[in-house]
Amino acid sequence: MPKVKAVKNQYEMRNPLDQYPRPPFPKQPQTAPGLDAKMTPEPDHGEASYQGFGRLKGRKALITGGDSGIGRAVAIAYAREGADVVINYLPEEEKDAQEVIALIEAAGRKAVAIAGDLKSEKFCQKLIEKTVKALGGLDILVSNAGKQVYRESIADITTKQFDDTFKTNIYALFWLTKAALEHMPPGSAIITTSSINARQPSETLLDYATTKAAIAAFTEALAVQIAPKGIRANTVAPGPFWTVLQPSGGQSQEKVQHFGEKTPLGRPGQPAEIASIYVLLASQESSYMTGGIFPVTGGEFM
C-alpha cells in the first residue's frame, strides 16, 4: 500500500496546503473496525516525525482507541513526551495495537495493551482498575474511541446501531470518567474527543453527530464539577481526519474519495497533525485551560 510521505520533523516550516496528500483518493471499503495498514494512502501518526521534550515525564495515561487513527498518534506522542501508556482497543485490532505497543516501548516507556469492548460498563470499570494496577496510578484519561456509521436516512438507522453508537461514544465516557476520578490526583487531565459535528452536524451521521454534541456538553459540565479537585477537562473537536473510521463505514465510498476536499486547506488532516493539542491539554502548560472546546478542522468553522 502507498504510504503518506512522512514528515521528518514536525517543527520544520512547510506549506500546509501540500504537506500531505490531497483528494481524490481511491475507493477502499473495509469491514469495521478496519486497519490503518489497509488505507491508501496509509495515514501518518507521527511515527517518523514526532519529537518529544519531556512535557509528560512520569505521567500515566490511558487512551481508548489507541491502536489506530488519532488515538495511535496521541499514544506515540505521549510516550515520546515521557508518559507510560495503556491503550484500549477491540480484539479485532490486535495487529495495529501491537505496532503501537512497539513504538511506545521504543520510546523507552511502559506500554500496556488491554483489549475489550467499551459498550460494557463492567469492562470499563475493569479497564480503569487494570490501568491503575499496571501503571501504578492514572493521571491522564483520553477518551477517544468512537463509533461512526454513515446512513442516508433516519429510516436506515436501527435501534441497535443507535444504541451501540451511544454506548461507545457516550456511556463509555461516563463509565470511564466516573471510575477514573476515584484514582486521579490534583493536576490530572481528562481529554475527550468531540467533533466538528457537534456544531456542524452531518445529515448522514445523525446518531454520531448527536453523541459528539453530547460529549462537548458533558465535558463542559464536568470541567466545572471537578475544578475544585484540581482536575481539568477539555475536549478536542476534529474536522475531517484521515483515519480508518472513514473507509470502514464512517463515510460512503464516494465521500472517502473526496474526503477533506471542501476544507479551506483542501485536504483531510493526518493524525500526526492533531496529537500536539492532546499533549498540550495533558501537560502543565495548559494549567489554566479547562472546559474548553478546541477545534482542529483545517479551517472549517465550528
What are the pLDDT digits (tens) for 209-240?
A: 999 999 999 999 999 999 999 999 999 999 99
| Block residue for cell numbers 478536542 | 236
CATH number at residue 115: 3.40.50.720
Within a domain: residue 220? Answer: yes
The yes-or-no verdict on residue 34 having pLDDT over 90 is no
Contact 116, 123 (CB under 8 A): yes
Contact 103, 79 (CB under 8 A): yes
Give the chain's radius of gyration (CA, Å).
Answer: 18
pLDDT at 42: 93
C-alpha torsion sign, points 200, 206, 207, 210:
positive
- The residue-averaged pLDDT of 66-93 equals 97
Within a domain: residue 189? Answer: yes
Within a domain: residue 198? Answer: yes
pLDDT at 36: 85
Within a domain: residue 16? Answer: no
Within a domain: residue 233? Answer: yes
- CA dist., res. 61 & res. 285, Å (int): 17
Q: CA 27 → CA 23, 52, 137, distances in Å?
A: 11, 35, 43
To the query of whether residue 208 is one of the catalytic residues in this protein, the response is yes
Query: Which range of residues forms the domain containing residue 174?
Result: 51-296
- What is the helix, strand, coil percentage profile of the chain, to 5? 40, 15, 45
Among candidate residues 294, 302, 295, 297, the one with its CA nearest the CA of residue 263: 297
Contact 255, 240 (CB under 8 A): no
Report the number of distinct structural domains present in the chain: 1
Supply the pTM of this predicted model: 0.96
Residues forming a β-bridge with 179: none
**20, 50, 89, 208: which one is catalytic?**
208
At 231 the three-state DSSP class reads coil
